[in-house]
Amino acid sequence: MGAGMVARLAFVRVWAMGLGAVMLLACALPAAAQGFEETLGDEITAILKERPDAFRKAAQEVIAGYGRDGRIDVAGIEQMVAIRRAALRATQSRRLLLADLDNDGTISRAEVGAVLPALSASQRPRLLELHRRADADGNGGVDPLELRDFAQDYAESGFDEAKAATYRRVMLADMDGDGWVTMDEVARVVEASRMDG
């Protein structure tokens, strides 16, 4: 048998396997939809019926942005939550640290006053308000602990538990129970929910 014939036979086998997989998927999706509510928990069923596209979008964002090899696990989602909150903390801290002119870690009212002329008219009241809110003990200076707590509060309100839960729910699509979610699994559960509803 020549090399050309071997190549053609290999192609036919691959094509037949692909056709078989498509036919299996075509039969499996309607069957999956029939038992969709029994297979999935109440929480994901409700989410998918209300906002399947939002679920898919959250899954795409977390898997593509923070997963590895096209999948994500609980640790990956928790790492994403920590990264998002760290970015918010850094942003809020930076806004005040720009006024730490002597680099002693404490931002005084005098330092804020010295920086104000260099800021735009819209930035001046923002810096004053940030300083006032961060100065928890009201002594006129924002020390490193106050700055840390203020930035943490900002991060937790900017990426709160409700938002984190949106991404954590992606794990509900782990249909094979291996601890990882792929976009294929997400697509299957979203499609099954549409066929069922």
> Quick one: pLDDT at residue 40?
53
CA-based angle 190:194:197, to the nearest 5? 135
Domains, the chain, with CATH or none: 3-79+161-196 (no CATH), 82-158 (1.10.238)
Q: Are 56 and 44 in contact (CB under 8 A)?
A: no
* Partners of residue 33 on adjacent β-strands: none
What are the tokens at 77? 């989602």
> Quick one: pLDDT at residue 191?
86
Q: What is the mean pLDDT of each run of 10 residues along the chain (197 residues)?
A: 44 38 36 43 72 90 95 97 97 96 98 97 97 98 98 97 93 93 93 72
Q: Beta strands of the chain (E only): which ranges?
A: 71-72, 107-108, 141-142, 181-182
> Quick one: pLDDT at residue 41?
63
pLDDT in tens, 20-46: 333 333 343 344 434 434 445 666 777
Q: Are 175 and 185 in contact (CB under 8 A)?
A: yes
In which element (H, E) is residue 142 found?
Answer: strand 141-142
Global pTM reads 0.71
> Quick one: pLDDT at residue 46?
74
> Quick one: pLDDT at residue 36?
39
Q: Are 70 and 63 in contact (CB under 8 A)?
A: yes
Backbone phi and psi for residue 91, each to the nearest 5 degrees, phi listed first: -60, -50
